[in-house]
Amino acid sequence: MARPHKPLLSTGRIVEAARELIDAEGLDALSTRRLAAELGVSGPSLYNHFATKDEIVEAVADSVSARVDLSMFEDGRPWRTALYDWAMSYRAALRDHPNIVPVLARGPGRRPAGLRVADAVYGAMVRAGWPPAQATSVGALMRYFVMGSALGSFAGGFVEDRAAYDPGDYPHLGQAHLLAERQETIDERAFETGLTALLDGLAAQFARISVNGPGPQGP
């Protein structure tokens, strides 16, 4: 019997299938048995590419990090503009793959794409004139903000039943039942509002550092 022209499996194909399964049903739905069935192969064949299920999950997480645009840190944009554009791209990647966010929230670990993101942000801030300790803090702050926004939806946390918000109990929530149907618009607007406020604060801090110096340096 002739060999197939293309191999049945590749690392990329496994990661893609695992990502689709996680997107559709969540992290708990992923198992090597289930993934092998989705790919139409035997379970042991996966181990030619990944030693454990955890390695597959890590690869899926890194594939999402790889979708984050980093070009704004390489084309000369001012640091504030670059952070804004990057944060928008970062959130878009997480929004499209929300079920993998808890894995990404643990940090990049040894994941190459995740480490490239961290390296790009930190390097751009240092080049812009942020002292190294503050550049680390800026990168961490941005990550907290973007990651937190992807862990849940404010608007999606309300139900569409007007009766759930009795004005006798919640006098200021008379329109809360309308939030869920406008979830995407409200959440996007809230993110942009928070991002602008955060960057305003960083710009003010950067101006003080430029005038007064960085102060005591931490790690």
Q: Average pLDDT for residues 95-117, to the nearest whole number? A: 96
Q: Average pLDDT for residues 40-61, to the nearest whole number? A: 93
Mean pLDDT of the chain: 92
Q: What is the pLDDT of residue 152?
A: 87
CB neighbour list of residue 9: distance below 8 Å, 6 or more residues apart: 39, 41, 45, 46, 48, 49
Q: At what angle do helices 53-65 and 112-128 cross, to 10 degrees?
A: 40
pTM over 0.75: yes
Comparing 112 with 216, which gets the higher pLDDT? 112
pLDDT tens readout for residues 128-171: 999 999 999 999 999 999 999 998 889 999 999 999 999 999 99
Q: What is the pLDDT of residue 8?
A: 72
Q: Average pLDDT for residues 66-76, to the nearest whole number? A: 97
What tokens does 19 get? Answer: 């990502």
Residue 49, pLDDT above cutoff 80: yes
Comparing 64 with 212, which gets the higher pLDDT? 64
Distance in angstroms (rounded) separating the CA atoms of residues 146 and 151: 9
Q: Average pLDDT for residues 24-52, to the nearest whole number? A: 92
DSSP string, 175-218: TGGGTGGGHHHHHHHHHHHHHHHHHHHHHHHHHHHHHH---S--
Q: What is the pLDDT of residue 44?
A: 83
Q: What is the pLDDT of residue 213?
A: 62
DSSP string, 17-59: HHHHHHHHH-GGG--HHHHHHHHTS-GGGGGGT-SSHHHHHHH
**Could you give the domains of the chain?**
69-212 (1.10.357.10)
Q: What is the pLDDT of residue 218?
A: 46
Q: What is the pLDDT of residue 1?
A: 47
The residue written with tokens 């999606």 in the block is: 156
The residue written with tokens 């801090």 in the block is: 205
Q: Average pLDDT for residues 176-196, to the nearest whole number? A: 94
Q: What is the pLDDT of residue 216?
A: 52
18: closest CA among 4, 6, 7, 49? 49
Q: What CA dihedral angle connects 38, 42, 46 and 51, to 10 degrees?
A: 120
Q: What is the pLDDT of residue 215?
A: 56
Distance in angstroms (rounded) separating the CA atoms of residues 87 and 195: 8
Q: What is the pLDDT of residue 206?
A: 96
Comparing 196 with 6, which gets the higher pLDDT? 196
Q: What is the pLDDT of residue 210?
A: 79
What tokens does 162 get? Answer: 């007007």
65: closest CA among 14, 13, 22, 101? 101
CB neighbour list of residue 8: distance below 8 Å, 6 or more residues apart: 39, 40, 41, 45
**Is 115:69 a contact under the CB 8 Å cutoff?**
no
